[in-house]
Amino acid sequence: MNQAARSVVLHGLVIALLVAMFFVLPEYHSGNLARILVLAVFAMGYNVLFGYTGLLSLGHALFFASGMYGLGLSIQFLSASPMLAIVIGLITAVVVSGVIGFLALRTTGVAFMIVTLMFAQAGFLTVLFFGKYTRGDEGFVIQRAQRILFGVDLSQPLPRYFAALILFAICLCLIAWMVHSRFGKTLVAIRENEERARMLGYDIQRHKLMAVIISGTMSGAAGAAYALLFGYAGASFAAVQYSILPLLYVLLGGAGTTIGPLIGTVFMFYLIDISSEYTDAYLLIAGLALILLTLFAPHGIAGILRKKLAWLP
Amino acid sequence: MDFGPHLFVASLEGAITAAVLALTAVGLSIVFGIMRVVNVAHGEFFMLGAVIAWWITSLIAGHPALGFTVALIAAPIIVGALAVICNRFVLHKINYEPERTIVATIGLLYVIQQTTLMTFGPEARPVEAPFNKRIALPWFEFGESGFALTWPWGLSTTTYKLAVIAAAVVILLVLWTVMTRTKIGLIMRATQLDQEMAQAYGIAVNKVYALVFGLGAALAALGAVLVVPIQQAHYLMGDDPLLLSFIVVIIGGLGSVPGTVLAAVLIGMSDGIISVFFTPTLAKILATLLVAFVLIFKPDGLFGKRRE
């Protein structure tokens, strides 16, 4: 099998497995899995920038929140239909990531990390500042009647799961395709050696900006989907934890791999879920995982798998 | 109170913020300047200083000054030692690679913070000040009888608050003397300028790094011990100092100690005064955006010199 065929088979199998999961798993876990799929989309968006382009952002909560509030506020205050609200959420994410990318990409390395962190913090505080509309930390609920897309009630487990899966599948296919495209290969070239890519005549800034916008929009789509499927938007999704989580998912699963973000999200989600039954200090697990991963497994689970299976995309 | 006395009190409170912030931020600044390490867990070392101070003072009976004096010496040493351990077993192992270091220190932040939550608990706990005498402050007026001093109600401070400011000034002067006048300071500055060259001249760079990381954390802890009688110890109290220290270090010019102190005074003073005119949230939004734009358009800080 050539590379393209392998990629189609692998990703087809992953999606088929996820379809089957809904019917196999008990309701509690399939509900979790719907959440995991949406968060995995967030992680996949993050991976476009971190894994493929080599830019470490500490501010992706801002993009997640742009999608979430773009959708949530337009339903709440403009009584937009879900479809229109999704479009508004995506446009918000495109605009926000475009502006942040344009500004933040003037810096590199550590400065880029701090600038994205600061912008995301400013975004989080802005959500709190307009508490009259966003209801701040408390958040607001999107009513069931406003979550009916094409006659399908997204508050029900089955439609909700498959809506999440469809979004996940679209993003997975987009990334699998991107990896083999000219554009994706240029991003990897920038990650590996920016100077050389520049010498070869690639427009580095334009490629990086495109990567930020794709990454931010995918994260925004995840945020919008989260609000629509689970009916809630709150400031905690804009807080710094939600910038750290996708980094953690991607590091654990394997940066720069197509299925790494999903693997990382599944593991981390259940690790936190199980530990939060025992203690309030469940973020301790996140902290330990971050330290242990940077020390011992900087390439994550998929990275370890890839050592055995070199063809893994 | 009239506007004048009100502003006077606000700037006194601002001076205390500035004093503590200067200590914390200088700690962050020397770690960045000498080791090129962005320590996201710095705020947690601050928090640990306050929590350990509470723990020590609650163990020692007798006059509050006794426990506080022990805490003032012991807490920075304990926190510094802990930082040296973190440096040895985490940062050193990943070779101080900038991006992995940030990820690892984010991990340290959660580990320290959440461990404190599990042991110390979620409550805020007070520490008694060693001395705390209220001083009424005079205000001048041009009345009918010409120039006169009055003592408006509410215009006051305490001896302890003034002592905090004095202590911070003394500590910073000592640090400045050590950095510029002693051999160990010379070694630190040599390592800052060129790490490989320093190594070639027989400086044990690893030991210098351990010392600097410990010293940076100890300075944060020292600031926290000084402020804990005014503020109370809480497991989340490291968040604000971290953000403010970042702001100060970036505006002052990364790694420049005098710039950091100057920026700390500027930010600390204006933080109190701005909060009088704007809501705290708006003040924080403006401050974070300021940092982002300084890094984008003036990456060497407002007072920093261009580095080659």
> Of B199, B234, B217, nearest to B53 (Cα)?
B234
Reply yes or no on whether the pLDDT at A297 is more than 80. no
Return all residues near B16 (Cβ < 8 A) that are at least 6 apart. B161, B164, B165, B227, B230, B268
By Cβ distance, the residue of A122, A283, A291 closest to B288 is A122
Provide the pLDDT for residue B85: 93
pLDDT tier at B266, thresholds 50, 70, 90:
confident
Contact indicator for B216, B28 with CB cutoff of 8 Å: yes
Using a CB–CB cutoff of 8 Å, tell me whether B85 touches chain A: no
CA distances B55 to A202, B105, B126, B232, Å, are: 59, 25, 10, 12
Interface confidence, given as ipTM, is 0.78
Cα separation, A10 vs A113, whole angstroms:
33
B299 has a chain A CB within 8 A of its CB = yes
On chain A, the residues whose CB falls within 8 A of the CB of B111 are 284, 287-288, 291
Q: How would you class A301 by CB atoms within 10 Å of its CB: exposed for 0-12, middle for 13-18, buried for 19 or more? A: buried
Higher confidence at residue B49 or residue B8?
B49
pLDDT attached to residue B154: 64
Confidence of residue B129 (pLDDT cuts 50, 70, 90): confident
Average pLDDT (A43-71) is 90
Q: What is the pLDDT of residue B281?
A: 80
CA distance A80 to A104: 32
- Find the DSSP H helices in chain B: 3-35, 42-59, 64-86, 98-119, 159-181, 183-193, 195-200, 205-231, 239-251, 257-277, 280-297
Confidence of residue B143 (pLDDT cuts 50, 70, 90): low
Q: Read off the pLDDT of residues B57-102 as tens digits, 9 standing for 90 and up.
A: 888 877 888 888 888 999 999 999 999 999 999 888 888 887 788 8
Cα-based distances in Å from A194 to A54, A148, A186, A190, B202: 10, 46, 10, 4, 35
Tokens of A93: 């994410």
Give the model confidence (pLDDT) of B6-25 as tens digits. 777 777 888 888 999 999 99
Architecture of domain B3-297: Orthogonal Bundle (1.10)
Token pair recorded at residue B164: 């905090």
* pLDDT recorded at residue B308: 38
Q: Where are the domains of chain B?
A: 3-297
Q: Give the DSSP per-residue string, A208-250.
A: HHHHHHHHHHHHHHHHHHHHHHH-EE-GGGGSTHHHHHHHHHH
| pLDDT, tens digit, 9 for 90 and up, residues B171-212 | 999 999 998 898 888 888 888 888 888 888 888 888 889 999
Asked if residue A64 has pLDDT above 80, the reply is yes
One-letter amino acid at B105 equals T
User: From CA B285, how far away is CA B2, in angstroms rounded?
Assistant: 28
Q: Is B284 on the interface with A (CB under 8 A)?
A: yes
Name which of A155-169, A186-200, A295-309 the model is least confident about.
A295-309
Buried b (16+ CB within 10 A) or exposed e, B68-96: beebbebbbebbbebbbebbeebbeebeb
The span from the CA of B16 to the CA of B154, in Å, is: 18
Whether B73 has its CB under 8 Å from any CB of chain A: the answer is no
| Chain B CB contacts of A56 below 8 Å | 99, 102-103
| pLDDT > 70 in chain B, percent | 89
* Confidence band, pLDDT 50/70/90 cuts, at residue B141: low
- Residue B246 to residue A114, Cβ atoms within 8 A: yes
